[in-house]
């Protein structure tokens, strides 16, 4: 009965905070992506695909934070209303209060395990394709008649006319990617085609001429063509505008295990795959660590300290990720056990939570 009561006290605030954090994360992601989400080629369907692809990532990030905040607010209300004192007077140990949050934490760890090995990697890979597709279409639509387009480094495009289908007339293309041998191309017609390679575009010119002046030999070449393709690697543009590249978030535990096996078979170091593997496992166990840490803090909360719960939650979340990042960097250099790199924040939070819970048991709740 007590466990169900505590479970309900935490579940309500938890669901509310998950929804609110997802909205906040979406607003932050939208603001970070205005460079391509507000482009001239973006449609409503693109925004929907962008949101759905990011939703699993929002849930993975928001579930642990929401659980800790819900525990601090839900159980903290019991402490402020003196319900905890009354329960202690009936002989109920503070260790009993952690069982309800632990039940919810175990359930959420299971949910995170499913998300981290299915929807989150799928969403991040889908997001990368969606973002690249939007950026590529924006590059095409941003070409205006009579305006030099230099969005891509070392490539300058000019078209005298642009029709509604994205085809150009009287096109000028300067390719300076090879500083020693720059190219200058003219074409009566032109357009952009999408090759099979994700991070490339192909500028196609028709009925034109190609000019090249070699600086080393001072030779000048002139070639006429009926069709010429100029492939451009726009990966740098994607990297600059696509702020959601995360290799580890695109891998499941099984992907990390396969990468580890492949590295060992090639005689290479499997450290990167092992760090990813243990990070994934540590991410799944995060709700359990937050449940153990948050319960004694909520039981010992004083009146009027509700605002403190928000600051503590943000601080704990930052401490968790900073600890993991530091441990992972040392592990990648071989200066820290790889198996502990992903679990170190959980171990620390478990230890601190148990010590605080023991302290509350010894001293009671004032």
Residue 202 has a pLDDT of: 82
Residue 107 has a pLDDT of: 94
Judged against a pLDDT cut of 90, whether residue 111 lies above it is answered with yes
Please report, for residues 257, 269, 277, 329, the alpha-carbon distance to residue 260 in angstroms, rounded to integers and kept in the order given. Answer: 5, 8, 9, 18
Q: What values do phi and psi take at 304, rounded to 5?
A: 75, 10
Pick the more confident residue, 281 or 245: 281
pLDDT > 70: percent of the chain: 85
Judged against a pLDDT cut of 70, whether residue 87 lies above it is answered with no
- Using alpha carbons, select from 104, 132, 106, 123 the residue that is nearest to residue 59: 123
- Using alpha carbons, select from 143, 129, 79, 81 the residue that is nearest to residue 309: 79
- Using alpha carbons, select from 38, 29, 16 the residue that is nearest to residue 58: 29
Residue 285 has a pLDDT of: 93
Q: What is the mean pLDDT of residues 210-232?
A: 82
Q: Of 86-90, 176-180, 206-210, 306-310, which range is least confident?
A: 86-90
Judged against a pLDDT cut of 80, whether residue 274 lies above it is answered with yes
- Using alpha carbons, select from 138, 320, 159 the residue that is nearest to residue 237: 138
Pick the more confident residue, 234 or 311: 311
Residue 153 has a pLDDT of: 76
Judged against a pLDDT cut of 80, whether residue 53 lies above it is answered with yes
Distance separating alpha carbons of residues 108 and 289, to the nearest angstrom: 12
- Sole residue written with tokens 């579930």: 63
- Sole residue written with tokens 């009146």: 303
326, two tokens: 């530091």
Q: Of 103-117, 243-257, 283-297, which range is least confident?
A: 243-257
Judged against a pLDDT cut of 90, whether residue 106 lies above it is answered with yes
63, two tokens: 């579930």
The CA-based diameter of the chain, rounded to the nearest angstrom, is 97
Judged against a pLDDT cut of 80, whether residue 232 lies above it is answered with no
The string over 229-262, giving b where at least 16 C-beta atoms fall within 10 Å of a residue's C-beta and e elsewhere, is ebebebeebbeebbebeeebbbbbbebbbebbee
Pick the more confident residue, 217 or 151: 151
> What digits encode the pLDDT tens for the residues 282-296?
999 999 999 999 888
Residue 186 has a pLDDT of: 93
Cα dihedral 145, 151, 152, 155, rounded to 10, equals 40
Q: Kindly report the number of other CB atoms within 10 A of residue 366's CB atom.
A: 7
The string over 290-308, giving b where at least 16 C-beta atoms fall within 10 Å of a residue's C-beta and e elsewhere, is bbbbbbbbbbbbeeeeeee
Residue 195 has a pLDDT of: 66
Judged against a pLDDT cut of 90, whether residue 33 lies above it is answered with no
Mean per-residue pLDDT over the chain, rounded: 83
Residue 364 has a pLDDT of: 61
Judged against a pLDDT cut of 70, whether residue 302 lies above it is answered with no
Q: What is the mean pLDDT of residues 328-332?
A: 91
336, two tokens: 């820290």
* DSSP letters spanning 153-192: TTEEEEEEEE-TTS-EEEEEEEE-SSTTS-EEEEEEEEEE
pLDDT band for 76, please (50, 70, 90 cuts).
confident
> What digits encode the pLDDT tens for the residues 159-199?
999 887 778 899 999 988 888 888 899 999 998 877 666 66
Judged against a pLDDT cut of 70, whether residue 93 lies above it is answered with no
Q: What is the mean pLDDT of residues 33-51?
A: 83
Distance separating alpha carbons of residues 59 and 301, to the nearest angstrom: 28
Residue 197 has a pLDDT of: 63
Count Cα atoms within 13 angstroms, Cβ side, for 159: 23
* DSSP letters spanning 29-45: HHHHTHHHHTSTT--HH
Whether the CB-CB separation of 298 and 76 falls below 8 Å is answered with yes
Whether the CB-CB separation of 291 and 102 falls below 8 Å is answered with yes
Q: Kindly report the number of other CB atoms within 10 A of residue 173's CB atom.
A: 24
- Using alpha carbons, select from 85, 83, 78, 92 the residue that is nearest to residue 366: 85
Answer left, alpha or beta for residue 91, where phi above 0 means left and psi between -120 and 50 means alpha: left
Residue 181 has a pLDDT of: 81
Residue 170 has a pLDDT of: 93
The model carries a pTM of 0.79
């Amino acid at each position: 009965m007590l466990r169900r009561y505590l479970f309900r006290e935490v579940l309500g605030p938890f669901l509310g905070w998950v929804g609110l954090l997802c909205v906040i994360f979406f607003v932050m992601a939208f603001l970070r992506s205005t460079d391509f989400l507000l482009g001239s080629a973006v449609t409503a369907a693109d925004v929907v695909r962008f949101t759905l692809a990011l939703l699993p990532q929002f849930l993975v990030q928001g579930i642990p934070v929401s659980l800790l905040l819900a525990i601090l607010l839900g159980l903290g209300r019991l402490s402020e209303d003196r319900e905890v004192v009354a329960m202690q007077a009936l002989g109920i140990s503070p260790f009993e209060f952690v069982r309800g949050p632990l039940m919810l934490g175990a359930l959420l760890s299971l949910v995170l395990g499913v998300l981290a090995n299915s929807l989150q990697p799928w969403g991040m890979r889908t997001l990368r394709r969606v973002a690249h597709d939007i950026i590529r279409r924006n590059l095409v639509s941003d070409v205006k008649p009579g305006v030099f387009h230099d969005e891509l480094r070392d490539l300058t495009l000019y078209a005298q006319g642009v029709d509604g289908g994205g085809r150009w007339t009287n096109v000028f293309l300067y390719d300076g990617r090879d500083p020693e041998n720059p190219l200058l191309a003219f074409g009566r017609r032109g357009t952009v085609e999408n090759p099979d390679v994700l991070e490339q575009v192909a500028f196609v010119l028709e009925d034109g001429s190609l000019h090249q002046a070699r600086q080393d030999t001072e030779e000048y070449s002139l070639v006429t063509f009926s069709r010429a393709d100029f492939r451009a690697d726009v990966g740098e543009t994607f990297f600059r505008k696509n702020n959601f590249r995360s290799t580890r978030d695109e891998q499941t535990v099984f992907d990390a295990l396969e990468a580890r096996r492949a590295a060992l078979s090639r005689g290479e170091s499997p450290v990167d795959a092992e760090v990813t593997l243990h990070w994934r496992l540590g991410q799944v166990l995060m709700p359990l660590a937050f449940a153990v840490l948050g319960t004694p803090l909520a039981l010992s909360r004083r009146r009027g300290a509700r605002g403190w719960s928000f600051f503590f939650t943000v601080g704990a979340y930052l401490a968790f990720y900073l600890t993991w990042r530091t441990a992972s960097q040392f592990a990648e250099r071989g200066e820290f056990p790889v198996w502990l790199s992903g679990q170190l924040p959980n171990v620390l939070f478990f230890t601190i939570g148990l010590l605080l819970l023991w302290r509350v048991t010894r001293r009671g709740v004032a």
